[in-house]
Amino acid sequence: MESESAALISMKKLKVGIIGQGRSGRDIHGRFLITVPEKFQIVAVVDPLEERRKRAVEEYGCEAYADYHSLLERKDLDLIINATPSHLHVPVTLEFLNNGFNVLCEKPLARKVEEVDMLIEASEKAGKILAIFQQSRYAPYFQKVRKIIDSGVLGRIVQISIAFNGFSRRWDWQTLQEYNGGSLLNTGPHPLDQALQLFGTDIMPEVTCIMDRVNTFGDAEDYVKLIMKGPGRPVIDLEVSSCCVYPCFTYNVYASCGGLKGSMTHIDWKYFIPEEAPLRHLIREPLTKEDGTPAYCSDKLEWHEESWDVPSEQKNLFQTISGGFYNMLHKTLTTGAPLEVTPQQVRQQIAVIEECHRQNPFPSLNS
Q: What confidence tens digit (pLDDT) does each residue in 71-88 have?
A: 999 999 999 999 999 999
Q: How far apart are CA 185 and CA 182, in angstroms?
A: 6
Buried b (16+ CB within 10 A) or exposed e, 169-191: ebeeebbbbebbbbbbbbbbbbb
H-helix or E-strand spanning residue 79: strand 79-82
Q: What confidence tens digit (pLDDT) does each residue in 151-161 have?
A: 999 999 999 99
Cβ atoms of residues 228 and 195 within 8 Å: yes
Q: Over 70: is that where the pLDDT of 10 sits?
A: no
% of the chain surpassing 70 pLDDT: 97
Query: What is the crossing angle of helices 317-335 and 2-10, to 10°?
Result: 130
Domains of the chain and any CATH numbers: 2-133+322-337 (3.40.50.720)
Q: What confidence tens digit (pLDDT) does each residue in 254-292 have?
A: 999 999 999 999 999 999 999 999 998 998 999 988 898
Q: What confidence tens digit (pLDDT) does each residue in 300-334 have?
A: 999 999 999 999 999 999 999 999 999 999 999 99
Q: What confidence tens digit (pLDDT) does each residue in 40-70 have?
A: 999 999 999 999 999 999 999 999 999 999 9
Q: What confidence tens digit (pLDDT) does each residue in 119-166 have?
A: 999 999 999 999 999 999 999 999 999 999 999 999 999 999 999 999
% of the chain surpassing 90 pLDDT: 91
Q: Of 46, 225, 259, 33, which Cα lies nearest the Cα of 149?
A: 259
Structure confidence at residue 283 (pLDDT):
86
Q: How many CB atoms lie within 10 A of CB 58?
A: 10
Average pLDDT over residues 94-110: 98
Structure confidence at residue 7 (pLDDT):
47
Where would I find the H helices in 23-161?
31-33, 50-60, 89-98, 113-126, 140-151
